[in-house]
Homo-oligomer: A and B are copies of this chain.
Amino acid sequence: MSLIENFTKPYGLVDKIDAFGYLDSLKNNPDAPRKHGKVVLVTADTPLKASRGEGKTTTTIALIDALNARGIDAAAVLRQPSMGITAAGSKGGASGGGKASLTHPELIDWGLCGEMGAIEAAQNLLASFAEKAVDDGLLDTVIVPRVSEVPSRSLRSVVVDAGKNDVHEKTVLTPTCELMQIVVLSRSMDEIAERVAKMIAGTKDGKAVTFGEFIDLWRITNILADAVKPAKTETKNGSPVYVHGGPFANVSIGIPSLVSVEMACALHDVVIVEAGYGADAGAQKWLDIACREYGAQWPSAAVVVTRASTWRDDPALQWRYPFHVERLEGLGIPTFPLINLWDGEDDQVPALRQTAADLGFRAPIVGNLYRDGGDALVPQLDAFTEAVSAEDAPETPASHKGMPLVENVKWVCEHAYGVPSDRVVMKPGFEESLEAARALAEDAGVAFDDLALVAVKSPATMTDNDAAPADERTVTLKKVDVHSGAGLVHVNLTTSLTTPMPKIV
């Protein structure tokens, strides 16, 4: 029995893997057989609207099927989609489609093994304990939000204990909550407990109070016992797919759990990590948060997915796709454009290839992946596999720890959105919000400028107006929120929803 089998248990139609235990045992047995797989990032053009995917998951599935067909041991790591908005009909699932599908997409789209429900219960328990701490005089105010997996626009603004104390509370979507971020970023249950202990519950006499000061951490970790285990499923063609962690790179970190990627790298030669929405959200967060600050592997290559129509139908926004491709190439990451065709678009291929050539792109990978799946890609991956198997792995750039927050935000605006620092403007109230956040962090005993930056923004824009001429684009900084347990600081900019609670459709 191989080492991983000791840590794998069937859960209905999928397996669940104790990734913490497996990675520990690799650490303790340096001679145990393992692989050192390379991470490839699949990201996308900025979508025209949030509900319109470019086909990242479909591409990821087709790509591993094609790589395995070429004899390369490739696996994918996906985030668990938010069941709430799928069930509500706000969007379709996020498990590929057509020939590029999972064996049991319904599991991924409809709650998997209860991970999201467990995280919801645990975060809501934290909110209940904070509320009790108010009764007990340990807190004056509650800061930790309640969560809901199911969207409901009315939950954006909630008054609890109505008619008595009328306490105003915040509710956010479960996949975006700090506890989900902690599950995604932690490498052991002890680390999860330490991070929960550092979460800010609320304030007493104006000073932040953390949960470590008054709750039993085991109550939270008991609830999370199975939620921290990645699920393993496969594509219709039998390629392995790991699913773990919350979506929403627009308002949270939007990456799969670090341990699910590290586990996959120990088991396979190529590991495709999906990071979306667009490169400005998902890729930016994988590179600048997961890699720079949390020790994740810098990608050996990237694939940037677009639809022909996203790329070309809106001239004012056409600059975004080449911008993403060039940014990633500029970071030393071999970056392959991938155009995901829809029915009736086959005749556009020559024109699309010409446009890519005019832009100085690498030869684009083109296919109707819903219709043809991995078969469309097999003959097109020579340059890609060569890049991935290159010996000299790129180095991870230096951490931004210690960089003042505003400088860090301006760095992201310039590098990820193309807006120079003199056009990054602060909305009235931003500086007060910044100082309040800094004070909370310091009360909580965390170094504010060491927190990793999470840009909270619309998935469909990088600037205040992406359609404006390049030299007129601005980014407005609106407010700052500290997630001291996760080690993150959120900065809301452009047209972000501070509480991502879509109206159900």
Contact = CB atoms under 8 A, between A and B. Distances in A.
A118 interface: yes
Leading 8 A-B pairs by shortest Cβ distance: A114-B114, A117-B117, A154-B161, A154-B160, A128-B152, A159-B159, A157-B162, A124-B150
A111 B106 contact: no
Given A121-B87, A125-B87, A222-B110, A157 B149 contact: no
Contact of A162 (B128, B148, B168): B168
A89 interface: yes
A129 interface: yes
B149 A154 contact: no
A157 B152 contact: no
A89 B162 contact: no
Nearest to A161: B154
Contact of A164 (B87, B157, B225): B157
A452 to B, nearest CB: 29
A9 to B, nearest CB: 5
A113 to B, nearest CB: 6
A132 interface: yes
Nearest to A134: B154
A500 to B, nearest CB: 14
Contacts of A10: 9-11
A348 interface: no
A153 interface: yes
Interface in A132-155: 132, 135, 148-155
A223 B154 contact: no
A83 B148 CA distance: 17
A2 interface: no
Contacts of A222: 87, 106, 109-110
A349 interface: no
A148 B124 contact: yes
A498 to B, nearest CB: 15
A223 B132 contact: no
Contacts of A223: 83, 87, 110-111
A393 interface: no
Interface residues of A toward B: which range? Answer: 35 or more
B160 A157 contact: yes
Given A114-B118, A154-B167, 11 more contacts: A89-B219, A111-B117, A111-B223, A113-B114, A117-B118, A124-B148, A132-B505, A153-B161, A154-B165, A157-B163, A158-B162
Interface string A99-128: 000000010011101111110110011011
A269 interface: no
Interface string A190-216: 000000000000000000000000001
A252 to B, nearest CB: 19
8 contacts: A109-B222, A111-B114, A111-B117, A114-B117, A116-B121, A124-B152, A125-B150, A129-B504
A226 B114 CA distance: 10
A113 B225 CA distance: 11
A84 interface: yes
A475 B497 CA distance: 52
Nearest to A123: B150
Residue of A106, A114, A115, A163 most packed against chain B (CB within 10 A) = A114
Interface in A69-114: 83-84, 87-89, 106, 109-111, 113-114
B110 A117 contact: no
Given A114-B117, A223-B83, A88 B158 contact: no
Contacts of A219: 87-89
A29 to B, nearest CB: 24
A193 B152 CA distance: 22
A13 interface: yes
Given A13-B9, A157-B164, A164-B157, A121 B149 contact: yes
B9 A16 contact: no
A52 interface: no
A12 interface: yes
Given A83-B223, A114-B113, A161 B150 contact: no
A427 interface: no
